[in-house]
Amino acid sequence: MAGDTPPVVSTREADARVAVDVKALQAVGHVDAARERFAELVARHQRRASRIAFHYLRDAADADEAVQDAFVKAYLHIGTFREELPFEVWFTRILINGCLDRLKQRRRREKWIAPPVTDAMGVERDPAEYLPSHAPSPEDHALASERRQQLSVALAKLPERQRVVFMLSHFEGRSSREVSAMMGLNESTVRVHLFRAIRRLRTLLAAGASRSLSGRKNRAAR
């Protein structure tokens, strides 16, 4: 019977329900139960949050810390969460603000500690990239790795807003409206950022591909 089937609950509704429960449990002082309930939200959004932070910060350790901090902040300030807004949007905003703060801190640190490592093309590189890899290096792996590297370098060259808009829209599949809510921007501004990001990325990746192709030809000729 149709009346006996449980109603289908969307992720958004489920998130909102959990968030409201956590808020209520915190209010009556049942912190253990509140934490257990919050763990559901962590499990549901952790992977996506890690992806966003990783693409934003371009450093796995930094991204890991940013995600942890974002969840802790969300738990502490869950009292300010309003059901009208999806939890995902509210949380992503916390995460992005945290990532932005980390980037600012990193820039300040880099100013004083050491100049950024750049490659022959003048592109800022992570020093860890120059360490020898322990992974096996058959040609397929090498090619895939090269392409990932090219994408990472190209993404790094994008202005921050373009990068985040591209990431949220394309990697996370968010609509322009959702991205605008997450970033606090106009929907039309988000669309413009997205278009510019794609155009710039295509140019950068095409240039990178032609460079690597000529490099391979030269190596083969030798």
Partner 1 sequence: MRLVDAVFRQGHLSEQALVEAVMTGERPAHLDRCDICAERSVELGRWLDDVRNLGLDAAERAFPAEKLVAQQAQIMRKLEQLDEPPRVIAFPRQMPGAARESGGRRVAPAWLGVAAAAGLVIGVIGGHFTARVSATEHPAQTAVAPTVPTTPATQPVRPAVPATAMPATVTASLIDLDLDNPTPHDLAMLNDYTPTLVGRSNR
DSSP summary character for residue 107: H
Residue 171 binds to partner 1 (criterion: CB under 8 A)? yes
Long-range CB contacts (within 8 A, 24+) of 82-90 = 83/16, 83/19, 83/20, 85/181, 86/12, 86/15, 86/16, 86/178, 87/12, 87/15, 87/16, 87/18, 87/19, 87/41, 87/45, 88/11, 88/12, 88/15, 88/45, 88/48, 89/178, 89/181, 89/182
Give yes or no for residue 24 binding partner 1 (CB under 8 A): no
Comparing CB distances to partner 1, the nearer of 111 and 175 is 175
Q: Is 119 in the site for partner 1 (CB under 8 A)?
A: no
Query: Of 72, 109, 60, 82, whose CA–CA distance to 16 is shortest?
Result: 82
Establish if 155 lies at the interface with partner 1 (CB under 8 A): yes
Choice between 9 and 144, CB closer to partner 1: 144
Rule CB under 8 A: say whether 4 interacts with partner 1. Answer: no
- In the shown chain, the binding pattern of residues 59 to 88 toward partner 1, with x for contact by CB under 8 A and - for none, equals -x--xx--xx--xx--xx------------
95 binds partner 1 (CB under 8 A): no
How distant is the alpha carbon of residue 168 from its chain centre?
7
Q: Which residues bind partner 1 (CB under 8 A)?
A: 31-32, 34-35, 38-39, 42-43, 46-47, 50-51, 54-55, 60, 63-64, 67-68, 71-72, 75-76, 144, 147-148, 151-152, 155, 167, 169-171, 175-176, 191, 194-195, 198-199, 201-202, 205
